[in-house]
Chain A
Amino acid sequence: MKVNNLDGRIEARIESNFTIFIEVLASSVDHSSAGSIVICNSLDVSSSGLQVVVDKPIPVDSILRLCLDVKDRDPIYVVGEVKWQRPDTESDGIRHGFLLFESDDTDIDAWKLAIRDLTA
């Protein structure tokens, strides 16, 4: 795990491979149609965002639910917006940058705590 504080950014980024679940399609309102989840790895995470690699592009500006699955911790559910995407140079996948919302009814506080612990 590597901590970066590059480019003058405020939050430290942790270069790490966490399992991330992305809800690319939500369940329908009556639950008759199931949603669709993509399971991928993070490239780096910070208290306000993360970078992932997935197989198919997710449109920029999409607002999606995410789950960070870290061993020995409860799953952390947050909401993030796709701010950018570009091809991954190391694989056939596509990198996406998510900015997380400080939304109510999410685990954003738990996320920040987890990042702080991991940084420490």
Chain B
Amino acid sequence: MAQQKDTGGRITLKVLQAALARQYPRPDSKLPDLDEKVLLESLTRLQVMDIAPGSLLEQIAKLNPKSRPNQEDYAVLCFLDNCLSSLLEKIKLAPEVQPPLYNGMAGLMRASLAEGLAAVSRDHRALKVLDLLINLSIGWSSKLGKTATDTLDHIKTTVSSMSMVAESQISDPKIRQSRDKFLDKLCNDTLAFAAQEQKRTSRLEDRLVASETGLLKTSRARNIAAGMLNQQMQDKPLPAEVIRFLQGPWFDSLQLILVREGVKSESWFRATKLTETLIWTMGFEGLDLLAEATEDPDPPAPTRANFMSLIEDDEVPFDGGQRVAFNRGPNSEGSIDFPGVSADGLSDFGNDQPHEDSTFLMDGDVQPGSADEGAAQGQLSKEEQQKLYRIVQDLPGELKPLLLSLEYQDDAKSVELDAIESVHTSIMTGAAIAKEICGPLPCDSELLGREAAVSQTLISQVINIPAGQWFVFDAQGEKVNHIKLLLKLDDLQQLLFTNRSGIKVLQTSFDEFAYLMSSGVATPINPNPLSTHIRNRLNTIVSRFAEHQKSAAAAKAKQPKPAPKEPAPPTPEEIAQTRKREEEMKSTQLFLKAVEEKASKSADQQTLEQAQQKVDALLVGAWLRIPGPGQVPTDCKLGVKLQSADKYIFIDRRGVKVGEFNRQQLAAMLVTSDCEIIDSGIEFEDTLEKVVTGLRQHRSLQDEGE
């Protein structure tokens, strides 16, 4: 065997050999060692033979049934054999491209025997060629037609060319230089081939990026706008004209604002506030200002012109603290802060300061849009009236510039705004208006929704994915695919993936893809798959060997185990907390004892048994009202049921322990009515199950596009 070079650095040749020998012991065999020359010749043959994917060592054994490589050679060959087969198993290349890669590996084995494994694993040109060929194979499919055939031909040709490199006399610098030059050419040829293929695909990909970016933005804008409107309009009785406006031109305009300026823009913020304000103004009824002001038994029909003229002529009494009654339901008086209006009564729609929670406050915290708001009755003060009138007066003007869907249709815009003004006039003058509750706009609900949050650790993995990164996509029950990240939209938190042909196969959010990566459905493929795999496995084997040596040495030296650390003494707060807990426990025990006594005295055996059966039937997740700390009745759920240990632990929604009882105590409390079963926990799909099931069901590619 040619001289094995020292690895240099921390790992010596001796350690490397010992580690490999430990990991790959030569099977007990009475067969003699295989001659070095014969072994190299066998590997040369394997470089050009048609071989089925699988163990190259088995192929060597078939070619040389009467001998085996020595331990040192065996360990190296076994290591490389293992590396390739485990890598191909991991990245799941198509079966058709695997045989030539095994041919190539036979060549790498030759180089390892000639130059040493350590030298080969450090950026050897043959390894680089193999890496490039593996990259070319990612996403390969026979369905790609001529492209697939050309790619496979190139791989086979390259591997065949590698077989022409002679490993004998490789220690000669000139021969080595010539060999390296030849392998560099193979690398460059493969890179050029890949670049040409990419050039063909990139035209398709560029078009896809342009169209999909627009579609994604539009779709996201639609969902956000619909979501906002649905939330604002939910359960709010509104006049038909307002519903038509909000779900028509206003909805279209909201989407345009989002697409053009984004969800963090001032325009979107203003539009959201205006939507809220418009809906809020629809909540007033029975103002009846016109009749009061004119005292005319037959007042003129309420029109905006009439109404505004009254305000200008001051016929609607504002002085003397006169208050205008408005009917909003059951009695509720108090001052009102108007949304979108600052203290001086002027509209602050243009104000950059967002209102804390976009609500107005009444005494008793009545929220706009709530049932209470519609049901509240109170009186507006003079200042509040003025504010309301100003809002109503200013609203059309504020809405106008944001009606982007009617940007070049002034007439249509006027018609819409006049309809709103007409409704406001009717409201202000007490005219009866029919209202209805509308259905929601269609909205694609996000897979995760508001109920689930993906941790930053997982999200950061997605954020760090570079464009062009390939993944193995292996969902349960689905065909394994290779997908490439084509587009990552940070503002929309969306990812777009294609296959080798440049056809879209997956579009997903950051959150969803973080889950796919975390659950192992999507696994990134390293850009230098084989060399990285070889280095990592080598490091692992050497580390394990070093640990083994260390343990063995420690056992030999019979070192005493380090003494366990003494726990730190408790702080005064901890002592106080412990005392408090002990007192609570004592109090609870006394209470439970009293309950049990009471139950046994007051109830007959049958009643007690029935209560015990009810306890037995409780499932984890059951809700009960039980005495909590201080024996205060508390709604909580059965978090842990240890029937064998006769222990039932109850917790609140946040997982804080409320109480712990045994079967007898629970039964006694049921009998004495100190405890009540609210829900016995018959299985239902709660939030946790919904989120898990939803994500797992969503694990599939949209279309393979082949």
Q: Give A contacts to B, CB under 8 Å.
A: 17-19, 21, 23-29, 31, 34-41, 53-55, 58-59, 61-65, 67, 69-72, 75, 77, 79, 82, 91-93, 101-106
Query: Across the interface, do A93 and B692 meet the contact criterion of CB distance under 8 Å?
Result: no
Q: Does B451 contact A (CB under 8 A)?
A: yes
Q: Does B606 contact A (CB under 8 A)?
A: no
Q: Does B188 contact A (CB under 8 A)?
A: no
Assess A63 versus B639: contact at CB under 8 Å? Given A26-B653, A39-B518, A103-B620.
yes
A36 and B620 alpha carbons, distance in the complex (Å): 18
Q: Which of chain A's residues have a CB closer than 8 A to the CB of B520?
A: 70-71
Name 24 A/B residue pairs within 8 A (Cβ), A-sorted: A27-B687, A28-B653, A29-B623, A35-B653, A35-B686, A37-B688, A39-B455, A39-B514, A40-B454, A53-B457, A62-B654, A63-B639, A63-B649, A63-B651, A63-B655, A64-B655, A67-B692, A69-B518, A72-B476, A75-B696, A82-B655, A103-B640, A104-B620, A106-B620
Query: Across the interface, do B620 and A26 meet the contact criterion of CB distance under 8 Å?
Result: no
Query: Across the interface, do A105 and B692 meet the contact criterion of CB distance under 8 Å?
Result: no
A50 and B513 alpha carbons, distance in the complex (Å): 24
Q: Does B608 contact A (CB under 8 A)?
A: no
Q: Does B404 contact A (CB under 8 A)?
A: no
A91 and B460 alpha carbons, distance in the complex (Å): 10
Assess A69 versus B655: contact at CB under 8 Å? Given A34-B687, A37-B688.
no
B44 to chain A, nearest CB (A): 37
Q: Does B546 contact A (CB under 8 A)?
A: no
Selected from B453, B519, B620, B654, the residue in CB contact (under 8 A) with A79 is: B620
Q: Which of chain B's residues have a CB closer than 8 A to the CB of A53?
A: 455, 457
Q: Does B100 contact A (CB under 8 A)?
A: no
Selected from B457, B654, B679, the residue in CB contact (under 8 A) with A40 is: B457
Assess A41 versus B686: contact at CB under 8 Å? Given A61-B657, A105-B641.
no
Query: Across the interface, do A39 and B458 meet the contact criterion of CB distance under 8 Å?
Result: yes
Q: Which of chain B's residues have a CB closer than 8 A to the CB of A72?
A: 476
Mask for B463-480, Cβ within 8 A of A = 1, else 0? 000000000001010000
Query: Across the interface, do B637 and A39 meet the contact criterion of CB distance under 8 Å?
Result: no
Q: Which of chain B's residues have a CB closer than 8 A to the CB of A71?
A: 474, 476, 519-521
Q: Which of chain A's residues have a CB closer than 8 A to the CB of B619?
A: 105
Query: Across the interface, do A36 and B458 meet the contact criterion of CB distance under 8 Å?
Result: no
Query: Across the interface, do B455 and A54 meet the contact criterion of CB distance under 8 Å?
Result: yes
The 8 closest A-B pairs by CB, nearest first: A35-B687, A62-B655, A105-B620, A40-B455, A71-B520, A37-B452, A19-B518, A29-B623
Q: Give B contacts to A, CB under 8 Å.
A: 448, 450-458, 460, 474, 476, 511, 514-515, 518-521, 619-621, 623, 635, 637, 639-643, 649, 651, 653-657, 678-679, 681, 684, 686-689, 691-693, 695-696
Told that A40-B457, A63-B655, A91-B456 touch, could you supply 18 new A-B pairs with CB distance under 8 A? A17-B518, A21-B691, A24-B654, A25-B653, A26-B687, A31-B684, A36-B453, A38-B455, A39-B511, A39-B515, A41-B455, A55-B453, A58-B655, A63-B639, A71-B474, A71-B521, A103-B620, A104-B641
Q: Which of chain A's residues have a CB closer than 8 A to the CB of B689?
A: 77
A-side interface mostly: loop
A91 and B454 alpha carbons, distance in the complex (Å): 15
Q: Which of chain A's residues have a CB closer than 8 A to the CB of B456?
A: 55, 91-93
Selected from A36, A77, A79, A103, the residue in CB contact (under 8 A) with B687 is: A36
Query: Across the interface, do B455 and A65 meet the contact criterion of CB distance under 8 Å?
Result: no
How many CB-defined contacts (below 8 Å) exist between A and B?
Answer: 149
Q: Which of chain A's residues have a CB closer than 8 A to the CB of B519?
A: 19, 69-71
Q: Which of chain A's residues have a CB closer than 8 A to the CB of B455?
A: 38-41, 53-55, 93
Assess A37 versus B649: contact at CB under 8 Å? Given A61-B657, A104-B641.
no
Query: Across the interface, do B656 and A59 meet the contact criterion of CB distance under 8 Å?
Result: yes
A48 to chain B, nearest CB (A): 14
Query: Across the interface, do B451 and A34 meet the contact criterion of CB distance under 8 Å?
Result: yes
B564 to chain A, nearest CB (A): 10
A2 and B605 alpha carbons, distance in the complex (Å): 56
Write the chain B residue with the least CB distance to A20. Answer: B518
A109 to chain B, nearest CB (A): 13
Query: Across the interface, do A39 and B452 meet the contact criterion of CB distance under 8 Å?
Result: yes
Q: Which of chain A's residues have a CB closer than 8 A to the CB of B639?
A: 63, 65, 79, 103
Query: Across the interface, do A91 and B457 meet the contact criterion of CB distance under 8 Å?
Result: yes
A92 to chain B, nearest CB (A): 7
B661 to chain A, nearest CB (A): 15
Write the chain B residue with the least CB distance to A33. Answer: B653
A35 and B455 alpha carbons, distance in the complex (Å): 16
Assess A40 versus B458: contact at CB under 8 Å? Given A35-B451, A79-B620.
yes
A71 and B480 alpha carbons, distance in the complex (Å): 14
A31 to chain B, nearest CB (A): 7
Q: Which of chain A's residues have a CB closer than 8 A to the CB of B679?
A: 29
A104 to chain B, nearest CB (A): 4
B632 to chain A, nearest CB (A): 17
Query: Across the interface, do B518 and A101 meet the contact criterion of CB distance under 8 Å?
Result: no
B239 to chain A, nearest CB (A): 29
Query: Across the interface, do B687 and A105 meet the contact criterion of CB distance under 8 Å?
Result: no
Selected from B451, B460, B657, the residue in CB contact (under 8 A) with A37 is: B451
Q: Which of chain A's residues have a CB closer than 8 A to the CB of B458?
A: 39-41
A72 and B520 alpha carbons, distance in the complex (Å): 10
A84 to chain B, nearest CB (A): 13
